[in-house]
Amino acid sequence: MSLREAQQLAASRSGQLLAQDAATRAAREMAVSAGQLPDPVLKLGIDNLPVTGPDRLSLGRDFMTMRRIGLMQELPREKKRLLKTERFERDAERAQAQRQLALAGLQQGTALAWLERYYAHAMRALLQQQLEETRLQEQGADIAFREGRGAQADVFAARAAQIELDDRLSQIDRQARNASLMLARWIGADANRSLSGEPMWKTMRDNSHPDAMLSAGELRQHPKLTLSATLVEAAETEARLAQANTKSDWTVEAAYQQRGPAFSNMVSIGISIPLQWDPKNRQNRETAAKLAAVDEARANDADNLQAYEAEVRSLINDWQTGKERIARYTAQMIPVARQRSAAALTAYRVGKGDLASVLAARRDELTARIQALGLELETARLWAQLNYLKPDNSIGPSAFAVTSESSKGQP
């Protein structure tokens, strides 16, 4: 199972992505609804019905008694309806930004677990190889001691080295099991499959130069900052809607009134206009509150940009330093440790050294190689954090797209 396949499996079984798709769909359906006129109101009634006297409860004898049927229609201003639609569109954009953030987190988490397991198995293979060599050395030391050609201390040294390797192997097995458990959190039972491929920790997904990754335009494409920007746009829309509410909407009404057969029927037409009698303490206060919310959102967005840029700079610095250290281990540290180990073994074979020195040299070589793998894992973690700050949208289910039916009737 390659890293890409693991991420594909994680995306296909993610409930969080489905939830954000549903939230997007809900917001866009509401955007269409918000742009329509309110439903008209059917009004039925009886006016001026006598309740005393000889005409009590009569619908036709008193000239003022009328049976009424009418319609009332509220007429919100077109600008308000458009702003209400825009408000729900902002909700949809926020849901999509949250989806991208969730997808990036999913891909990053899967990559980290995959890398942990990959390097745990690499370290285990290295330790297993060294353990086999140490067992052979122990057998050889035991035979030499029994034949009087070696010291008993060499036997004990080999056994101690074997016990130490067994202990380190147990630690690596624990790390591998934990990595499998974390991978199972993302992909389920497939976490037990063997891994294939190698981590591409030396370069970013799009081969971006580190300086290019820090440009304002590049940073703004990251889901964290996209989400922050959508919150600013939502606050601005709310402020414009509050300003539009400073102008009253009209309501029109028409009614047909039927009286008794001896009297004429009538028609009534009316217009209702709310009176904003205290705008200083109501509408103006609401508008001021929404404008203050815009200032808050913008300040938070600017702070988020600064904090995020510092975080990315730190990750890039650590990643580049890790690559430099790995190159140093590969080109210098491990070759020197290997040469020392070979020299100790040669000296032992010609009788100028003891087995303890050989084991110590081999242990130091193994430690250097384990440290190199550990450093490579650390650098690979940084690579995963950087590489999936933005999601790879070619992996996993496609983002939600509004169907033509759900867009019908949108103003």
Encoded tokens for 39: 């439903």
Tell the residue number behind the tokens 């949108």, with chain if given.
410
Decide: residue 278, CB within 10 A, 0-12 exposed, 13-18 middle, 19+ buried: exposed
Asked if residue 169 has pLDDT above 60, the reply is yes
> H/E element holding 74?
strand 66-75
- pLDDT of 404: 35
Average pLDDT score, the chain:
86
- pLDDT of 379: 93
Contacts 24+ apart (CB under 8 A), 172-176: 172/120, 172/123, 172/124, 172/127, 173/124, 175/116, 175/120, 175/123, 176/117, 176/120, 176/121, 176/124
- pLDDT of 266: 92
Each residue's pLDDT tens digit, 341-365: 888 888 877 777 776 777 778 778 8
Pick the more confident residue, 352 or 244.
244
Interhelix angle 355-387/152-187, rounded to 10 degrees, is 10
Each residue's pLDDT tens digit, 201-242: 777 766 666 777 777 788 888 999 999 999 999 999 999 999
CA distances from 34 to 95, 245, 251, 320 (A): 18, 15, 18, 51
> Assign residue 243 a region: left if phi > 0, alpha if psi is -120 to 50, beta otherwise?
alpha
CB neighbourhood size of 257 (10 A): 19
CA atoms within 13 A on the CB side of 226: 21
Order of all β-strands in the sheet with 66-75: 41-47, 66-75, 250-258, 266-272
Asked if residue 254 has pLDDT above 90, the reply is yes
- pLDDT of 410: 42
Q: How confident is the model at residue 400 (pLDDT cuts 50, 70, 90)?
A: very low
Taking the model in full, what pTM does it have?
0.81
Asked if residue 159 has pLDDT above 90, the reply is no
Encoded tokens for 276: 């904003």
Each residue's pLDDT tens digit, 121-144: 888 888 887 777 777 767 766 776
